[in-house]
Amino acid sequence: MTTKETLSITDNRTGKSYELPITDGTIKSLDLRKIKVNDTDFGMMTYDPAFMNTASCRSAITYIDGDAGILRYRGYDIAELAEKSSYIEVAYLIMNGELPTAKQLEEFTTSITLHTFVHENVKDFMEGFRYDAHPMGMLVSSVAALSTFYPEAKNVFDEKNRRLQMTRLIAKMPTIAAWSYRHSVGLRYIYPDNDLPYAANFLSMMKRMAERAYKANPVLTRALDVLFILHADHEQNCSTSAMRGVGSSQVDPYSAVAAASAALYGPLHGGANEAVLRMLHEIGDVKNVPAFINAVKDGSAGSRLMGFGHRVYKNYDPRAKVIKKLADQVFEVTGKNPLLDIALELERIALQDEYFVKRKLYPNVDFYSGLIYQAMGFPVDMFPVLFAIPRTVGWLAQWEEMLKDPDQKIARPRQIFTGPDLRSYVDVEKRG
Ligand code: CMC
């Protein structure tokens, strides 16, 4: 039998048949539009709430095979990058498609380092937040405000200008993130130390007190750098879709990154690691784990098992595997996080429990990352911020890819209207 890369559809309302081309295992939704019952019919659409089965773009950045538990940036396996690379090198790879030469890496590192400072006015308006402001709320607003400092960032199709804004964003996110934290605990803001690499500089801005230069423990600095690598991109997740959707209006990248950060803030996305820690505290003791699992299953826990499950991974999240190993190295320096035993017991029971097995619910990236962050002395409120810093490069690379893609236009989904038909306005005194 000869095979054809097409899909035949028969519309049983009309008896007509259609043949649609298949490319990369996909049909174009717009090809369905020609399926009509009559000439005035708008044409067939697909209904796909939450984009469960819709490819919204072509992308060459990140590959995920959720069933096999595979994650690759530009073809490189995440575990190998976590073992051998650095966050800055991975950022270059994600932005440019290839690993840098030694010279390219040096130039890229220098340009990021030279853009870590922010305008003094940024500091002034950050000081205006309420004393107990959540650092993620501060980050979202402060990144958006950066657009007012760089009005030329609107020229999104000017490649040189666009790259400059991307460099600025990658460089300034740690500064704003650290200052959001310092504000929330009432400590003076610490300026970047350009003698330090990316993760070490962030730790310095977070932790430095009276000392002239902050020296972080190298094991902890490396652990943070690895966590940054693991969070750098994850293809078309909620925040990246927000970045692409908002960016498709051709707004400047600061506004688009603010929108992506806002999407990341939610407890089902980047806020999940914060939710995991709160959940572990609430469980309180290993002996309470079975009852908690039962409460999750019957709905009385009031929440899901946070840090478990994923829209794409129906297997162990490969990032969670790396993080679990990393946790041992961190705990050797910091001492074991007492919540670890509760987390291990949750994982042990959940992985044997029919409810979780049947639904293919495994630990995701957020299940163990919070334990490391907490052991390193980061407050729970900072967890989504620690996700936003490294994800910035993923958002930007995806945004740039979208701008260069001739298939892309302003994002504008359709709807199935379910409201009332035309009716006449009734004066207020005549309304029952
Ligand atoms: N605990 C208990 N049950 C769950 C969980 C969970 N964590 N996740 C999914 N389920 C159940 C869900 O109730 C449903 O059951 P049923 O078929 O009986 O109705 C089934 O599994 C499928 O769930 P879904 O809501 O259709 O799956 P989804 O793909 O829409 O949701 C998810 C993915 C990540 C939002 C979800 O698994 C979840 O809420 N997990 C907890 C939050 C979390 O850890 N988020 C971090 C995600 S990884 C990092 C990131 O992307 O930011």
Q: pLDDT-based confidence at 267, cuts 50/70/90?
A: confident
359 Cβ closer than 6 Å to some ligand 1 atom: yes
391 Cβ closer than 6 Å to some ligand 1 atom: no
Q: Which of 304, 321, 369, 395 is the pocket-test mutation for ligand 1 (most atoms within 8 Å of CB)?
A: 304
| Maximum alpha-carbon separation in the chain | 80
In this structure, what token pair is assigned to residue 340? Answer: 């670890």
The DSSP call for residue 428 is G
| Exposure string over 65-76, b if 16+ CB within 10 A, otherwise e | eeeebebbbbeb
> Contact at 8 Å (CB) between 50 and 268?
no
Active-site annotation holds for 183: no
- Rounded Cα distance between 253 and 150, Å, is 10
Q: How far is ligand 1, taken at its centre, from the CA of residue 307, in Å?
A: 9
The DSSP call for residue 129 is S
∠ CA(115), CA(120), CA(126), 5° rounding?
Answer: 105
296 Cβ closer than 6 Å to some ligand 1 atom: yes
CA atoms within 13 A on the CB side of 129: 23
Ligand 1 atom closest to Cα of residue 311:
29
C-alpha dist (Å) from residue 111 to 104, 196, 197, 202, 356 = 11, 13, 12, 16, 46
Q: pLDDT-based confidence at 173, cuts 50/70/90?
A: very high
Share of the chain above pLDDT 90, in %: 93
301 Cβ closer than 6 Å to some ligand 1 atom: no
Q: How far is ligand 1, taken at its centre, from the CA of residue 258, in Å?
A: 25
Q: Which of 78, 300, 310 is the pocket-test mutation for ligand 1 (most atoms within 8 Å of CB)?
A: 310
Q: pLDDT-based confidence at 337, cuts 50/70/90?
A: confident
- Rounded Cα distance between 255 and 169, Å, is 11
366 Cβ closer than 6 Å to some ligand 1 atom: yes
307 Cβ closer than 6 Å to some ligand 1 atom: yes
pTM: 0.94
State the catalytic residue, choosing from 231, 310, 317, 381.
310
- Rounded Cα distance between 19 and 34, Å, is 11
pLDDT exceeds 80 at position 1: no
For atom 51 of ligand 1, which residue has the closest CA? Answer: 269
C-alpha dist (Å) from residue 376 to 86, 244, 289 = 19, 33, 25
- Rounded Cα distance between 271 and 366, Å, is 9
- Rounded Cα distance between 301 and 291, Å, is 9
Nearest to 308 by CA among 266, 339, 279: 279
Residue 273: CB atoms within 10 Å = 29
CA 7 from chain centre, in angstroms, equals 35
> Contact at 8 Å (CB) between 166 and 253?
yes
Q: How far is ligand 1, taken at its centre, from the CA of residue 359, in Å?
A: 9
- Rounded Cα distance between 166 and 399, Å, is 10
280 Cβ closer than 6 Å to some ligand 1 atom: no
Tens digit of each residue's pLDDT (9 = 90 or more) over 26-57: 999 999 999 999 999 999 999 999 999 999 99
User: Which H or E element spans position 87?
Assistant: helix 87-96
Backbone angles phi, psi at 2, to 5 degrees: -80, 140
Q: How far is ligand 1, taken at its centre, from the CA of residue 109, in Å?
A: 38
- Rounded Cα distance between 63 and 151, Å, is 34
Ligand 1 atom closest to Cα of residue 312:
29
Active-site annotation holds for 269: yes
Query: Beta 62-65 vs 70-73: how paired, if at all?
Result: antiparallel
pLDDT exceeds 90 at position 268: no
Residue 203, amino acid = L
Backbone angles phi, psi at 150, to 5 degrees: -130, 70
Q: Which of 237, 292, 308, 360 is the pocket-test mutation for ligand 1 (most atoms within 8 Å of CB)?
A: 308
Q: What is the CA radius of gyration of the chain?
A: 24
Backbone angles phi, psi at 73, to 5 degrees: -100, 120
- Rounded Cα distance between 149 and 153, Å, is 9
270 Cβ closer than 6 Å to some ligand 1 atom: yes
What is the reported pLDDT for 302?
86
For atom 25 of ligand 1, which residue has the closest CA? Answer: 311
- Rounded Cα distance between 363 and 343, Å, is 10
- Strands in 74-172 per DSSP E: 76-77
What is the reported pLDDT for 23?
96
Ligand 1 atom closest to Cα of residue 270:
52
What is the reported pLDDT for 112?
98
- Rounded Cα distance between 308 and 42, Å, is 41
Active-site annotation holds for 115: no
Return the bridge partners of 61, or none: none
pLDDT exceeds 80 at position 220: yes
Tens digit of each residue's pLDDT (9 = 90 or more) over 102-147: 999 999 999 999 999 999 999 999 999 999 999 999 999 999 999 9
Residues 6+ apart with CB under 8 A from 162: 155, 156, 253, 400, 403
Q: How far is ligand 1, taken at its centre, from the CA of residue 281, in Å?
A: 21
Residue 336: CB atoms within 10 Å = 14
State the catalytic residue, choosing from 269, 341, 381, 427.
269
- Mean pLDDT, residues 395-419 taken together: 97
